[in-house]
Amino acid sequence: MHSELVLLKKMRLKALTITERGCNILAPMSRTLPLTIDPWLLYRRNETVEGDLSLCSMPHLLASQNRKDGVAWAKIAVLQREDGQVVITGEATVDVNLTCQRCLQPLDELLVAHFELVLVKYERQLSSVSDSDDAIVCADTLELAPLIEQELILALPMIAKHDNCQAAYTNEVSETADTQQPFANLKDLLK
């Protein structure tokens, strides 16, 4: 009887540990980024949204990766710039897995994108946007995934390469090229 009690205690203790662990996992340190925002509402309320975003919601970015899933993180605010323009400003990060173009081995990199886009309600307002600014037309609802995806793609390196790539560039004539003699049989033909 006594041993059963001990066992029961142990089990209870185990169950408690599992629950605690479960709570830790479930505790939302990071939350999911909303799929859409009303940037004008965000602006009026002076609010910021931030959270995780699945790479699966960014198919074009995912296509450039050696992976099938992953999670990006982004933070977005809407505020008025000194020149009076209302801008969507933000930051996005994601771990990308590319291919080094020198050694053709996998290359893991933390991609970071900082962006600022002038926000206008109607297309006709685009004429008031400076050429040096990127702009976005949005009357009310803005889908976040395409925006974040575009900014992360723009932050991708033009050519992915390890910082200290160990692949050596060889400029030697390969052995096979040495032994190949395209005209070797010519003498025989002339006989």
Closer residue to Zn ion (CB): 53 or 107: 107
Q: How far is the CB of 182 from Zn ion (least distance, A)?
A: 34
By CB under 5 A, tell whether 79 contacts Zn ion: no
Q: How far is the CB of 62 from Zn ion (least distance, A)?
A: 22
Q: How far is the CB of 171 from Zn ion (least distance, A)?
A: 18
Using CB under 5 A, which of 62, 77, 103, 137 touches Zn ion?
103
Pick the piece of the chain touching Zn ion (CB under 5 A) from 100-108, 120-128, 134-142, 150-158: 100-108
Q: In this structure, what token pair is assigned to residue 45?
A: 């309320």
Closer residue to Zn ion (CB): 76 or 98: 98
Tokens 């390469």 correspond to: 161
Q: How far is the CB of 121 from Zn ion (least distance, A)?
A: 47
Q: How far is the CB of 95 from Zn ion (least distance, A)?
A: 17
Closer residue to Zn ion (CB): 127 or 164: 164
> How far are the Cα atoms of 98, 133, 153 from residue 163, in angstroms, in the given order?
13, 31, 20
- Within 159-178, the residues that bind Zn ion by CB under 5 A are 162, 165
Using CB under 5 A, which of 88, 100, 147, 148 touches Zn ion?
100
Binding site for Zn ion (CB under 5 A): 100, 102-103, 162, 165
